[in-house]
Structure 1
């Protein structure tokens, strides 16, 4: 048997949450892949990241490797409820191992969100989001201009604003009354959070689907402390000058597997389930 060179091996990172079942699955994967000459286990510049837990675990892994999106692919094992990003159940580990052994590098790509925050002193912070990014004002009602593709669209008053990706449309965006988008659609969705609408103050009052070429700008009109969330990360900034949202040039890549089922099947399973004929 010919010994494989290090450069010929597939570099794999295994990341699990702290639950007992997740640790058990991680231990099995680690033991099998460690003894397989085709793989090299490392968390440094991996080719494939296996997440074990749920969608939250995959979101965390995405942010761990968001600077390596051109070279890394993700695959998830869920050990709890059905997840939108996880293709395998905890009892399907052997099936996943067979897929990895026969892997040819195929991938499924979805768009992600780029968020740029500019403070009044000129400092800028850039983040990437797989699901969504939101802004809220902590002290009082948030007042902000919404600019879409350089058009001053509305002056928003309310609790906050969420901008989601297509894959994130089934998460917080849906709970706000936003539409569900298929994840292959390269678009953003802006959804208001408890906007004020009366005969004095008016907003569009519904979610807006914005194409890839357009940029969204949120320009706060009052000083204060703002609470910003990017997926499962949170930040607090004072005196935000503006926040820009746009489709990032990079995408997240998933390992293309037979278990990467129809998006609409996942939506049905998550929100509707079985129904009587």
Structure 2
């Protein structure tokens, strides 16, 4: 088994990484560099660190399994705390386990009338397209058919795992990550006697896709997880569930609804 450690640079995290490396060495588990080809990646930090690890290993996403160690305030993608390293390492050295996989979002960005995208990327949480200074306007198409003309600040397109992130703060639904779907949620839409949108999040099935045709591409921000692109001249975006999936090690994978409850409603003492 080849294990790589991917972490942030916070002092508390660095201490955890050093302890983790020592425990792995004692169990004769090979620790390889992040740039190599590991079987398992241990992300040490918070959800932002996991997003960075996902992006780093995206070219090999189907060959890598992830484990999260949480050292911050809220780690939705993490199954272990910094004081549970012994349990984690024992599981790695003694157990053969299955993995759990979740859908990810494929994002294609186009300029002008080009049929070839200038950007193809993937998101674990969500992609947003928005304008901060003035009204963002676009046509929304579902599976190639016109659905609505949107006016407002922008749109968020999220995965089921990302449904608990920015999507939730926008009033979107929380979706179990085994559901193969994407969700479109409005960001401050304009709804009055002249302009109308659905005004509700939409859950899109895996055999459909969403296209966003920008009516004014200037001064638009496009985000794909923690990657942010400003004023790229994008005129059309296509969103769909990717063929690839992200895989998490299932040694002690917390049930999704327990994770939701612990994060937002009733934190258990051991995760305080």
TM-score normalised according to structure 1 size? 0.91
| 2:53 counterpart of 1:61 | yes
CA separation of 1:155/1:50 partners in 2, compared to 1, >3 Å: closer, same or farther?
same
Structure 1, gaps ≥5 residues long: 1-9
In the TM superposition, what are the counterparts of 1:177-216 in structure 2 within 5 Å? 177-216=171-210
SS in 2 for 1:67: helix
Contact 1:34-1:41 at 8 Å conserved across structures: no
Which residue in 1 is equivalent to 2:261? 268
State the distance in 2 between where 1:103 and 1:128 align. 31
SS in 1 for 2:173: coil
SS in 1 for 2:67: strand
Contact 1:160-1:193 at 8 Å conserved across structures: yes
Which residue in 2 is equivalent to 1:240? 234
| 2:82 counterpart of 1:90 | yes
1:139 is displaced (CA, Å) by: 4.5
Structure 2, gaps ≥5 residues long: none
Which residue in 2 is equivalent to 1:17? 8
Which residue, out of 124, 128, 131, partners 1:134? Answer: 128
- Identify the range of structure 1 (52-61 vs 115-124) with the bigger mean alpha-carbon deviation: 115-124
1:273 is displaced (CA, Å) by: 1.1
SS in 2 for 1:82: coil
- Identify the range of structure 1 (26-35 vs 122-131) with the bigger mean alpha-carbon deviation: 26-35
Contact 1:134-1:229 at 8 Å conserved across structures: yes
1:18 is displaced (CA, Å) by: 1.8
CA separation of 1:41/1:33 partners in 2, compared to 1, >3 Å: closer, same or farther?
farther
State the distance in 2 between where 1:190 and 1:201 align. 19
TM-score normalised according to structure 2 size? 0.93
State the distance in 1 between where 2:57 and 2:224 align. 15
